[in-house]
Amino acid sequence: MSKLSGLFTNWGEAYGRLVETYVDGTWWTVGDYLENVGKGTKRLLVNAYPFLYGGSSSSLFKGSSPKVGGVAMPTKEIETRFKD
């Protein structure tokens, strides 16, 4: 306890690092959240209004197949899937 001169400066430095980490983490999280909300909103708008937002009418039906509908059927037995 003879070296008390660095007590407050060490505490202040540790507290500053903690606050900096918290603030940086919060901004990182909020930034990621807002980015994902923006991308999701953009996708919804393109699907809802394809001609206004640069999409086309075919983008609404991407992935659909006129020949096959319903549930996908497995082509292999479960045991043989993991043997290949």
pLDDT at 26: 92
pLDDT at 1: 46
Classify each residue of 39-68 as buried b or exposed e, where b means 16 or more C-beta atoms within 10 Å of its C-beta: eeeeeeebeeeeeeeebeeeeeeeeeeeee
pLDDT at 57: 55
On whether the pTM is more than 0.75, the answer is no
Nearest partner of 47 among 64, 66, 62, 69, judged by Cα: 62
Structure tokens at 50: 């394809």
pLDDT at 33: 94
pLDDT at 5: 61
**Model pLDDT for residues 34-65, shown as the tens digit of each residue:** 999 999 988 888 878 877 766 555 545 555 55
The residue ranking higher by pLDDT, 69 or 28, is 28
Domain ranges of the chain: 1-58
